[in-house]
A and B are shown apart, each in its own frame.
Chain A
Amino acid sequence: MPQLNVNGQTREVDVPDDMPLLWVLRDELGMTGSKFGCGMALCGACTMHLDGAPVRSCVTPVSAAAGRAISTIEGMASDRVGQVVQDAWIENNVAQCGYCQAGQIMTAVGLLKTTPAPTEEQIDGAMGGNICRCGTYPRIRAAILQAADRLAQGDE
C-alpha cells in the first residue's frame, strides 16, 4: 500500500504498483487538476513534478513516486515560481479551452526552475512535449518570457 507525498501532504492509496500516477491522483485521490490527454507521454497534459522535475504522470507508475515529493498544479499557488507563472498566464490571457494549461504551466515552472532566463530555443525544447490543440503557443511563449523577467526582478 504505497504512501504518497502530494503537495506536502501524505496520502494513502490502495492501488496496484503499476497504476500510473495520473489515474491514482485523478480517480483515487480526486485531484483532477492534472489532465489526461494521451496516456503515452506524448502531450504533456498530465505533467507533474517528482522531486521538482517535470514528469509525464500518465506513464509514471505509482511505485516510482512512492517516497518522493509529488507536486501538481493544485500546489503551484504556494510555489514561488508557480505563482509567478500562473499570474503571467492570466495576464497574457493564455487559455482558450484551458484543458492543456495545467500541463503547460507545470512544464514551464520546471523550465524556469532550472533555466531562469530561457532562450527561445530553450523554450521550444522544454515545451515541445506539451500540445495545445487550441493553438495558444504564442501566448504561452510570451507568458514564460514575462514570468522569467518577473522572477529575475524579484531576485535582484
Chain B
Amino acid sequence: MSTTVQLSRRRFLQSSLGALTLAVTAGGLVTIVRAADADSKKYGADSMPGGTVDDPLVFVSIAADGTVTIVAHRAEMGTGVRTSLPMVVADEMEASWDRVQVVQAEANEARYGNQNVDGSRSMRHFLMPMRRAGAAARQMLEAAAAARWSVSVSEVKAVRHEVVHQSSGRRLGYGELAADAARQPVPGTEQLKLKARADYRYIGKNQVRLVDLEAIGKGQATYGMDMRLPGMVYAVVARPPVVGGKLRRFDSEKALAVPGVLKVVEIPAFQGAPAFQPLGGVAVVARNTWAAIKGREALEIEWDDGPNGGYDSADFRKTLAEASRATGKTIRDNGDTLSVWNGAAETERFAAEYYIPHLAHASMEPPVATVQIKEGRAEVWTSVQNPEAARTAVATRLKLKPEDVKVNVLLLGGGFGRKSKPDYVDEAAIVARAMPEGTPVKLVWTREDDIHHDYLHTVSAERLEAVIDKTGKVRSWLHRSAAPTIGSLFAEGAKGQQLFESAMSAINMPYQIPNVRVETAEVAAHARIGWFRSVANIPHAFAAQCFIAELAHRAGKDHRQFALDLIGPARQIDPGDMADTWNYTESPERYPYDTGRLRGVIEAACQGAKWGRELPKGHGLGLAFCYSFMSYTATVVEVAVDEKGQVRVLAVDMAMDCGPQINPERIRAQMEGGAVMGLSLALTSEITFEKGRVKQSNFHDYQVLRHNASPRVIRTHLVNDDHDLPPGGVGEPPVPPVAPALCNAIFAATGKRVRSLPVGTVA
C-alpha cells in the first residue's frame, strides 16, 4: 500500500446524535451515549463488551501426551470460526493440527473477551489476540526447554510440536514440556515474537478442514436441537400472533388431555420495547416434541392484538413510498443538492424508487434452548450467537447471579443474525422454573414459529434522485431511505434509522459527486426488526447499485466504466469526512474507505465474468459492488430470461478483498453461501403482514433458493491478500451486491427494470 493517508480526526457519533441518545450497535448492545463521552470513544474490539483476551493460559492447555487443547470462545454458526481461530493459535504456537483438540467455551466474556458472533467481527477482532496467545504459548514452551537444557532461549526453537536445541539437535515434545511451560511467566505483549508470514503453516494455506466436518457427515455433531438429558421434557409455545399482543384468556383442558402433555405454563408478555424479551403466550410441556406440538394445537386461546393489529404490508408499502418522497432528516449533506436539483432541466433529472420487503432469517435449525435449574443454579445448552446475552437473560429472569448461570454453547444450525437474540433461551428458563426442580426443559421453535415470530429484516422504500448532465457527469445525488429501525427493538416508538443503519451503504459511499445528500425518513415499526446478514446494506446497496446502473444506461455508458469513473482514482477516505457517520465501530485510521480496493474487486469480478462479452439473446450480465464490514465485494451475475419472464441465474462471479485471507477456503464458502442467500432474497423471499400477522408460515410460502434454482457456476475471486492490512469481515459482505447485480443483469437481458424485490417473474 503506497498511498499516504491523510485522515482528519473528526469524531464519530458526535453532534448528530444529540446530547443523549440511544446507540444500538449491530451487535445488539444498547448503550446510552453522551455526546461529551464521544471523545473517549473506543474502537474495534475495545468498544465491545468483554473486549479481547490474549492470555495463553485461558486459551491453550497441553496434556502430558502432547495433545494441545485450544478453546474456541466464539460460537460456530457455519462461518468456520470454531476452526479458524484455534487454527491461528495453533499456527503461532507451532502446534501440529492433528494433535490439536478444540473445546467450546461456555459464556464468559470476562474470561474470554467478546463472544458475540455478529457483525462479521470474529477474525477482525480476534486474529491478533489469537496470534498473541499462540506466540506466547510457543515462547513459554521454548523457555521451558531452554531451562531444562540450561541453554539460552535464543538457541532453541519450536518446530512442529517440539522444541529443538539447534546446535545439539536435542528435542523435547510439547507434552514433555507442558508442565514446565505452564509455570513460565506469560510474556508481555512487547516481548512477543510473532511469526513472519512466510513461516505460517496453516494461516492462508487451506490445510485445515472444519473440526466438525466428519461428525457433521455422520450425523454425530451436536446442535442445540440435539441436546438430550435424562428426564428431559419438551416445550413449544403459542405466541401472540401480533407483536405486542397479549393473552386475553386461554383454556388448557384439551391440551392437557393430549397423551404425553405434562403441563401448561403461561409466558408473560414483554414490557416496554421488545428487546430480547419473549413475546409472551402459553407453553405446552410434554414428554416429547410431537406431543407438545399436538398439545399446543389443542389450546384454546383468545388474544388481544394490541396496537400492531392493523399492520398490513400493502398499506405500509404506500406509507413508506410516501415517506421516501417527503423531506426527511438529513444525515449527510455535501454541497447544495436541493438547488442543483431545482435548477436542473427536466431532461437532466432522474429519480427512481426501490422496495425491499421484510425477510426472515430461516436458519435451517429453528431457535431452540435447553435449561435446567437445580440448587440455585441454572445450566443452559443452546445454539446462540451471543452466549453472554443468553446468560444475562437467564440470570435476570431467574434472579440469579450471572456466575450461577452456565451457558454451554452447542453448534448452531445457521444463525444469520437471528440467534444473537436470546428470547428463546429466556422462554426456556421461564418454563424450567415452572417445572419440578431439576427438570431439564428443551424449548423448541417449529418452522412456523420461526417464520411467524422472527426478528425480521426491515422493510424499506428507497428513493434516489440525481442530476446527470449531457456528458454523463453526475452533479447531484440524493438517497432517501424509509425503513423501520432496529432501534425500535430497544426504544419504544423509535423512528428513523439509527446512524449505524444509515451508514451502511447510504452515508458511507465514495462517489465523486459534488452535491450529495442522504436522508432518513421517520417511520414506525410494527414488527420486531432485527439485523439480518449484512443488515441495512441490503436495501441501501440494492437501491444505490441499481441506480448507478440506471444512470450509466441514461448516460449511454458501459456500467463498469461508469462506476469506476464515479468512484474515481484510488484514494483513502475517512468516512468522517463524508458526514458524522459510523464506521462499523472501527477507527477511520485503521479502516479508511479505500477506493483502490473497491476498484480492485470490480475489476476482478468483471474479469472473472468476462464482462463485455457477446451474449445470446435473453441473456444478460449485471454488476454491483459494496463496501461493508471493512471488506470490499463486487458481483457479476449472468442471467437468462425466457419469454415467460422466468429468470434463471447461470453464473455468479464474486470478488472480495477482505485484507489478509486467514482461511481462504472458508472465505470462499462464505462467498458462495452469500451468493445463494443474496439470490434467495432477490428472487423469491418475502414476509408480508395482514392484520398484524405474518402471512407466510413455512418453506412453501416463504421460499428460499433450492438446488434447482441455484446457479451451477459460482466463481469466487479473492483479491489482495495483504497481510499488512487489518482484517475485514467475511460472513456478511458477500450478500449486498448480489440482488442489485441480478436486477442489473435482468435489465441487460430484457430491457426491463426490476426495482422491487423479490423479482419473481419479469413481467
Pick from B78, B220, B228 the residue with the most CB of A within 10 Å.
B78
A129's nearest neighbour on chain B, judged by CB, is B706
Residues A131 and B363 in contact, CB atoms below 8 Å apart: no
B365's nearest neighbour on chain A, judged by CB, is A99
Within 8 A of B (CB), among A22-56: 23, 26-28, 30, 32-40, 42-43, 45
Residues in chain B near residue A138, CB distance under 8 A: 672, 710-714
B252 at interface, CB cutoff 8 A? no
B733 at interface, CB cutoff 8 A? no
Q: B693-719, CB under 8 A of A: which get 1 and which 0?
A: 000001110001111101111100000
Residues in chain A near residue B674, CB distance under 8 A: 135
Residues in chain B near residue A27, CB distance under 8 A: 234, 287-290
B701's nearest neighbour on chain A, judged by CB, is A42
B425 at interface, CB cutoff 8 A? no
Please measure, in the bound complex, the distance between the C-alpha atom of A138 and the C-alpha atom of B220, giving whole angstroms: 24
Number of interface residues of B (CB under 8 A): 64
Number of interface residues of A (CB under 8 A): 58
Residues A72 and B219 in contact, CB atoms below 8 Å apart: yes
B214 at interface, CB cutoff 8 A? yes
Within 8 A of A (CB), among B645-688: 665, 669-670, 672-677
B222 at interface, CB cutoff 8 A? yes
Please measure, in the bound complex, the distance between the C-alpha atom of A73 and the C-alpha atom of B362, giving whole angstroms: 23
A113 at interface, CB cutoff 8 A? no
B578 at interface, CB cutoff 8 A? no
Residues A97 and B364 in contact, CB atoms below 8 Å apart: yes
Residues A134 and B707 in contact, CB atoms below 8 Å apart: no
Residues A135 and B705 in contact, CB atoms below 8 Å apart: yes
Task: Give chain B nearest CB distance to A9 CB in angstroms.
Answer: 15
Task: Give chain B nearest CB distance to A59 CB in angstroms.
Answer: 12
B20 at interface, CB cutoff 8 A? no
B79 at interface, CB cutoff 8 A? yes
Residues B288 and A95 in contact, CB atoms below 8 Å apart: no
Task: Give chain B nearest CB distance to A69 CB in angstroms.
Answer: 17
Task: Give chain B nearest CB distance to A18 CB in angstroms.
Answer: 9
B1 at interface, CB cutoff 8 A? no
B221 at interface, CB cutoff 8 A? yes
Residues B217 and A95 in contact, CB atoms below 8 Å apart: yes
A23's nearest neighbour on chain B, judged by CB, is B290
Task: Give chain A nearest CB distance to B94 CB in angstroms.
Answer: 25
Task: Give chain B nearest CB distance to A88 CB in angstroms.
Answer: 9
Residues in chain A near residue B706, CB distance under 8 A: 127-131, 137
Residues in chain A near residue B446, CB distance under 8 A: 39
Residues in chain B near residue A105, CB distance under 8 A: 217
Residues in chain A near residue B209, CB distance under 8 A: 90, 93
Residues B290 and A99 in contact, CB atoms below 8 Å apart: no
Residues A99 and B364 in contact, CB atoms below 8 Å apart: yes
One of A26, A128, A134 near B414 (C-beta < 8 A) = A134
Task: Give chain A nearest CB distance to B84 CB in angstroms.
Answer: 13
Please measure, in the bound complex, the distance between the C-alpha atom of A99 and the C-alpha atom of B225, giving whole angstroms: 10
Residues A135 and B675 in contact, CB atoms below 8 Å apart: yes
B216 at interface, CB cutoff 8 A? yes
Pick from B222, B259, B289, B411 the residue with the most CB of A within 10 Å.
B289
One of A36, A74, A120, A123 near B218 (C-beta < 8 A) = A74
Residues in chain A near residue B212, CB distance under 8 A: 95, 98
Residues in chain A near residue B416, CB distance under 8 A: 133
Within 8 A of A (CB), among B49-83: 76-80
Query: A102-B219, A134-B78, A137-B676 are known contacts. Are A128 and B225 too (CB-CB below 8 A)?
Result: no
Task: Give chain A nearest CB distance to B545 CB in angstroms.
Answer: 20
Query: A102-B219, A133-B677, A135-B673 are known contacts. Are A97 and B414 too (CB-CB below 8 A)?
Result: yes
Residues in chain A near residue B704, CB distance under 8 A: 131, 133
Pick from A77, A95, A140 the residue with the most CB of B within 10 Å.
A95
Query: A77-B218, A135-B674, A141-B707 are known contacts. Are A23 and B289 too (CB-CB below 8 A)?
Result: yes
B210 at interface, CB cutoff 8 A? yes
Residues B707 and A40 in contact, CB atoms below 8 Å apart: no
One of A30, A33, A40, A97 near B412 (C-beta < 8 A) = A97
Please measure, in the bound complex, the distance between the C-alpha atom of A52 and the C-alpha atom of B180, giving whole angstroms: 56
One of A36, A39, A133 near B363 (C-beta < 8 A) = A133
Residues B707 and A36 in contact, CB atoms below 8 Å apart: no
A30's nearest neighbour on chain B, judged by CB, is B228
Query: A33-B219, A35-B364 are known contacts. Are A133 and B710 too (CB-CB below 8 A)?
Result: no
Residues A98 and B712 in contact, CB atoms below 8 Å apart: no
Residues in chain B near residue A32, CB distance under 8 A: 219, 222, 225-226, 228
Within 8 A of A (CB), among B216-239: 216-223, 225-226, 228, 234
B447 at interface, CB cutoff 8 A? yes
A110 at interface, CB cutoff 8 A? no
Residues B707 and A130 in contact, CB atoms below 8 Å apart: yes
> B interface vs A, CB < 8 Å?
76-80, 209-210, 212-214, 216-223, 225-226, 228, 234, 259, 287-290, 293, 362-366, 411-416, 444, 446-447, 665, 669-670, 672-677, 698-700, 704-708, 710-714
Give 6 closest A-B pairs by Cβ, nearest first: A33-B219, A135-B676, A99-B413, A97-B78, A73-B219, A98-B216
**What would 25 A/B residue contacts be, using CB atoms closer than 8 Å?**
A26-B226, A33-B219, A40-B700, A42-B698, A45-B364, A86-B218, A90-B213, A96-B78, A96-B80, A97-B365, A98-B78, A98-B212, A98-B213, A98-B413, A99-B223, A100-B413, A102-B216, A120-B712, A125-B708, A131-B706, A132-B676, A133-B416, A134-B414, A135-B705, A138-B711
